[in-house]
Every structure is written in C-alpha cells, then in structure tokens.
C-alpha cells in the first residue's frame, strides 16, 4: 500500500470578482485559499528530487489562474473547479482538500469570513 503524505499551501491570497451581488462582481475582493494535497512523497524524500514530488510553485500558479480567470457566483463552485484542476494536472495527487475563505462577506452582521471546504479523491 502506498503512503498518503500531505503537502499544504496555506492562505494563498488573491483579488478576484466572485459573488452573487453585483458589487462583488464589479468591485471584487480578497479571497484566501488553502489546499491540502494527499500524495506519496517517499521517493522525493529519499532522492531529494523535485521531480518526484508535487511542485507547489506550479500548484500556486494553477490556483492563481483558476481564482482570477473567471467570475463565480459561489465559492463552492470555485472550490470544486480548483480541486478538479489539481487532480487533472497533478497525477500523483490522490486526494485534495480545498478551503476558500471570503473575508468580510456581504451579510447583515459582523462576520470575519465565510469558508467552504471540499474534499475530492481519485
């Protein structure tokens, strides 16, 4: 049985235009993304080789592209697209957890952020 190790990218921040309200779509706002990649990194550990692991600089570039290239009404949909793109692009990733936070959402009350978390597996 293969190992299931974890690589995390925490609090990647982007300015984007997601939301249901017209102001959110026009003015934009900050979005914070965490990803947790489940994969076997034992070969990378023993060989000290970037080629044997998930290059998190490339994961970050994918996050940036997916978060900023298209507007989504729901961060749930955005999280799903991030997870699908990661699984499609990085074949050694067997599971992915994506968390998206939207600071200061437009609700009638004081809220630090709303957050969606999804988990997808191969």
- 3-class SS string, 14-26: EEECCCCCHHHHH
Q: In the annotation, is 102 catalytic? A: yes
Distance CA(76)–CA(53), nearest Å, equals 28
Angle between helices 56-69 and 75-89 (to 10 degrees): 140
Which residue of the set 71, 99, 102, 108 is catalytic?
102
Place of tokens 């749930």: 76
Residues labelled catalytic: 102
């Amino acid at each position: 049985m293969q190992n299931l190790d974890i690589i995390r990218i925490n609090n990647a921040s982007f300015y984007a235009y997601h939301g249901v309200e017209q102001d959110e779509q026009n003015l934009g706002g900050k979005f914070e993304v965490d990803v947790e990649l489940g994969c076997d990194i034992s070969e990378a550990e023993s060989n000290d080789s970037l080629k044997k692991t998930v290059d998190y600089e490339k994961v970050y570039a994918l996050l940036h592209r997916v978060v900023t290239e298209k507007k989504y009404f729901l961060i749930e949909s955005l999280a799903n697209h991030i997870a699908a793109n990661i699984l499609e692009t990085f074949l050694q990733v067997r599971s992915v957890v994506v968390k998206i936070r939207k600071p200061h959402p437009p609700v009638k009350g004081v809220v630090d952020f709303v957050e969606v978390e999804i988990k997808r597996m191969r």
